[in-house]
Structure 1
Amino acid sequence: MSVSKQADIAPTLRPPPALPADGMVISANFSVGGFSKRWNHCHQLANFLARYASANEDDPERHATLLSTFFNELLEAIYRNHGATGEIKMRFRKKQNHILVEAEVPINEQSAKFYNHAVQLANQPDPMAWYREQLEHDVPDDDAQALGLLELAVVYGSKLSISEPTSGDWLLLAIQFPFTEVEEL
């Protein structure tokens, strides 16, 4: 009869997640000017944020790939629709089975209209039917810019919302991305 020793027990491949089920994951602040000048690095920023947010998950590569897609669409929308000056502030939080991204975006009148329109389209009763219709026909210019954000809502089940402070020179865009239940998508 042999008694198992500590060395006989196979080590676990992954330690338990270090981050709590809910809480801050990472935040990023950058100037509008710097963001606009270095747009060609957007995919690298999206990949970095996704890898960081996925580091302690059971399948980090799979989660990072999906989140990189989400974050890239968000960064692209912000790149195309922001005010001329100011700072973009993003906070990434883990909230139950989702990643909640809150982006404070400097706006002007045109970009405020874009975000209001995109959220209105994403929160209509049947956004999937509308989305399919747009893909089959010529998309109006106002809707074409919103398709990336709408794809996150209709294809992946993300939830979009905005709030505007009374000052009117920035808004808070919140997107709740599915995270742990991506197997069901």
Structure 2
Amino acid sequence: MNAAQTKASFEPLIELEMEMGTFLSDWHHCDHLSSFMGRMISHNRTDPVRHSNFFSSALNELLEVTFRGGTPEGRIGCTVYRRGPKERVKLTFPCPPSQRQFYREAVSKTRKQDAYDRYLDAISNDLAPSREVILLDLAINFEAEINLEEKASPSITLVVDLPLEGIVS
């Protein structure tokens, strides 16, 4: 990678926003939104179908995190950016003060050395994946780098960098 590529910023690709109450009204919104956005951003990738499937799966997981812990007040926003082989997803959603610490800890655990062991333990013992396990899944299986932006309440933003072009299937 040359110096110009390392300094290049992420370029916006697509953005959507909707009322959180509308989003929470139907579980299928997670799948519909992730499939649509996956198709929209993958047309110019090396293997568009593969890329769309990977991206859609990863975004669906993120949307499920917000769905499972969601509150109907406010808006959910999702913006996808690109820099070279990476997509960046910024997912902003309402987060009650009581859940902020959960997100801080869950995101922090995705970067710890025991993340893989924690993930394997969770998927072998949990019947349904928790929000923490979903974030671990993204970090382990999609090689995602996950960060949290906390601006003024009531919303937080998950920032997820996905190196999908480099993932070996």
**Secondary structure in structure 1 of the residue aligned to 2:38:** helix
Aligned-partner residue type, residue 30 of structure 2: C
Structure 2 residue 131 is matched with structure 1 residue 145: yes
Question: 2-side partners of 1:94 and 1:61: how far apart?
Answer: 17
Paired residue total:
162
Higher RCO (CA < 8 A, seq sep 6+): 2
Question: 1-side partners of 2:26 and 2:71: how far apart?
Answer: 16
**Secondary structure in structure 1 of the residue aligned to 2:142:** coil
Q: CA deviation at 1:34?
A: 0.8
Question: 1-side partners of 2:57 and 2:126: how far apart?
Answer: 25
Q: 1:36 pairs with 8, 14, 24, which one? A: 24
Q: 1:156 pairs with 110, 134, 142, which one? A: 142
Q: 1:129 pairs with 95, 104, 117, which one? A: 117
Aligned-partner residue type, residue 160 of structure 1: I
Q: Which structure has the larger Rg? A: 1
1:24 paired residue number: 12
Q: CA deviation at 1:162?
A: 0.4
**Is residue 35–residue 56 contact of structure 2 (8 Å, CA) maintained in 1?**
yes
Question: 2-side partners of 1:41 and 1:164: how far apart?
Answer: 25
Deviations 1:98-156 (A, max 9, x none): 110011111102332332222021121231122112233458x9x83311121010122
Question: 1-side partners of 2:113 and 2:16: how far apart?
Answer: 33
Question: 2-side partners of 1:73 and 1:111: how far apart?
Answer: 18
Q: CA deviation at 1:175?
A: 0.6
* TM-score, with length taken from structure 1: 0.79
Q: CA RMSD in A?
A: 2.2
Q: 2:93 pairs with 105, 109, 113, which one? A: 105
Q: Which sections of structure 1, spanning at least 5 residues, go unmatched?
A: 1-20
**Is residue 100–residue 176 contact of structure 1 (8 Å, CA) maintained in 2?**
yes
**Secondary structure in structure 2 of the residue aligned to 1:57:** coil
Runs of 4+ in 1 over 4 A off after TM superposition: none
Q: 2:53 pairs with 43, 52, 65, which one? A: 65
**Is residue 98–residue 179 contact of structure 1 (8 Å, CA) maintained in 2?**
yes
**Is residue 82–residue 111 contact of structure 1 (8 Å, CA) maintained in 2?**
no
Question: 1-side partners of 2:150 and 2:112: how far apart?
Answer: 20
